[in-house]
Structure 1
Amino acid sequence: MTEVYVLGHNHPDTDAIGSAMSLSYLLNEIYNFKAIPVISQKPDIETRYVLDYFKIPTPAVVRTVANKQIILVDHNEIAQSLADFKNSEVLAIIDHHKLEIETNKPIYLLSEPVGATATIIYFKYKELGISIPAKIAGLMLSAIISDTLLLKGPTTTEKDCVAYQDLADISGVADVDRYGTEMLKAGAVINNNTPEDFINGDVKEYFIQGKRIRIAQVYVTDMAPVLEKITDIKNEMNKHISKNYCDLFMFVMTDILKINSMIVVLGDERAIVEQAFSTKLAHDMCYQPGVVSRKKQIIPLLIKAFLAK
């Protein structure tokens, strides 16, 4: 039987892993091939909490997809996938981010402007009439909670709200709001994080107008412990810039309770952030109330500013 890897982005979060696992289950129900959910790195603290809560084994970690047939979930940019990605055969992409990828042949593409890739997959289950097991529902529910910040984030849509309620019922979680709050808080525990952890945890890379952009993000319930380490964090950011020829490095501290962010900005293209957000950096930082989403509130503004140069 043909094996197909289902893979989320590097530094996988709850939506990347939950979507890979839930899509694999769906594909195995309807197609005559073996869909295998895989990850490129170990789960983060939040996703570990989810997998433990629902008693679900962690997907296998793979370091290469060369000569494999793959389906991408929750991403489509080469910079966010494994290094030998170009040596694989992409069969399909299911994603909720801006489109960047080029393929050498037509593929199946399902992209919607919703809060989580898991929402797209949930509606595909409904469309095909496939029953969702409680544990898979719990995974998709958790992915939606994570990416929409418990439906409070700016990327939340009506479809996310519908999926959230239906999946909550199927999963059997008695108090879903309480579960979601505890899940987000678990992911916001940063007491033992080193400066390297902060800049290499939840991080994504983009290429915009030929410039390499790296945006790391950490979710917290209190920014003070992170700000205490900010000098060391900036030193690590500068090391990465020098070593990896990064044109712009942004480190986003997001308060999941107050729904705002403090952004550290370093690199040769730092002025573009001032232009994008109509702000002035102070000590390489700027405060952005209401900004919590890379996908919807940061990347679009950066693209617009770069195009205006």
Structure 2
Amino acid sequence: MTEVYVLGHNHPDTDAIGSAMSLSYLLNEIYNFKAIPVISQKPDIETRYVLDYFKIPTPAVVRTVANKQIILVDHNEIAQSLADFKNSEVLAIIDHHKLEIETNKPIYLLSEPVGATATIIYFKYKELGISIPAKIAGLMLSAIISDTLLLKGPTTTEKDCVAYQDLADISGVADVDRYGTEMLKAGAVINNNTPEDFINGDVKEYFIQGKRIRIAQVYVTDMAPVLEKITDIKNEMNKHISKNYCDLFMFVMTDILKINSMIVVLGDERAIVEQAFSTKSAHDMCYQPGVVSRKKQIIPLLIKAFLAK
């Protein structure tokens, strides 16, 4: 039987892993091939909390997809995939981000402007009339909670709210708001994080107008412990910039309770951030109330600012 890898982006989060696993289950129910959910790195603390809560085994970690047939979820940019991505055969993409990737032949593409890729997959289950097991529902519910910050984030749509409620019922979670709060808090525990952990954890890379942009983000309930390490964090950011020829490195500290962010900006293109957000930075940092989303609130403004140069 043909094997197909289903995988999310590098440094996978709850939506990337939950979507890969829930889509794999769906595909195995309707197609005559074996869909295998895989990840490129170990789960972060938040996703570990989810897998442990629902007693679900962690997907296999793979270091290569060369000569494999693959389906991408929760991303479509080469910079966010494994290094040998171009040596694989992409069959499909399920995503909720801006489109970037090029393929050498037509593929199945499902992209919607919703808060989580898991929301798209949930409605595909409904469309096809496939029953959702409680654990799979729990994965998709957790993915929506993660990407929409319990439906409080700016990317939240009505479809996310519908999926959230339906999946909460199917999953059997008695108090879903309490579960979601505890899940987000688990992911916000950063007491033992090193400066390297902060800049290499939840990180994504983008290419905008020929410039390499790296944005790392950490979710916290209190910024003070991170700010105490900010000098060391900035040193690590500068090391990465020098070693990897990064034009702009942004480190985003997001308070999941107050819904705001402090952004550290380094690199040759750091002035573009002041232009994008109509702000002035102090000590390489700028405070952005209400900003929590890379996808909807940071990247679009950066693109607009680069195009205006």
**Structure 2 residue 215 is matched with structure 1 residue 215:** yes
Q: Offset at 1:149?
A: 0.1
Q: Name the residue aligned to 1:182.
A: 182
Supply the distance in 2 between the matched residues of 1:304 and 1:267 (Cα, whole angstroms): 19
Q: Deviations over 1:206-245 (max 9, x none)?
A: 0000000000000000000000000000000000000000
Unaligned runs of 5+ in 2: none
Identity %, equivalent residues: 100
- Relative to the length of structure 1, the TM-score reads 1.00
**Structure 2 residue 166 is matched with structure 1 residue 171:** no
Instruction: Give the count of matched residue pairs.
Output: 309
Q: Deviations over 1:81-130 (max 9, x none)?
A: 00000000000000000000000000000000000000000000000000
- Relative to the length of structure 2, the TM-score reads 1.00
Q: Deviations over 1:118-159 (max 9, x none)?
A: 000000000000000000000000000000000000000000
Q: Offset at 1:165?
A: 0.1
Secondary structure of the corresponding residue to residue 286 of structure 2 = strand
**Structure 2 residue 304 is matched with structure 1 residue 304:** yes
Q: Name the residue aligned to 1:123.
A: 123
Q: Offset at 1:29?
A: 0.1
Secondary structure of the corresponding residue to residue 196 of structure 1 = helix
Unaligned runs of 5+ in 1: none
Q: CA RMSD in A?
A: 0.1
Q: Deviations over 1:21-62 (max 9, x none)?
A: 000000000000000000000000000000000000000000
Supply the distance in 2 between the matched residues of 1:66 and 1:209 (Cα, whole angstroms): 28
Secondary structure of the corresponding residue to residue 57 of structure 1 = coil
Q: Offset at 1:199?
A: 0.1
Secondary structure of the corresponding residue to residue 161 of structure 1 = helix
Supply the distance in 1 between the matched residues of 2:177 and 2:68 (Cα, whole angstroms): 40
Q: Offset at 1:187?
A: 0.1
Q: Name the residue aligned to 2:68.
A: 68
Q: Deviations over 1:157-215 (max 9, x none)?
A: 00000000000000000000000000000000000000000000000000000000000
Q: Deviations over 1:52-79 (max 9, x none)?
A: 0000000000000000000000000000
Supply the distance in 1 between the matched residues of 2:171 and 2:7 (Cα, whole angstroms): 23
Which 4+ runs in 1 deviate beyond 3 A?
none
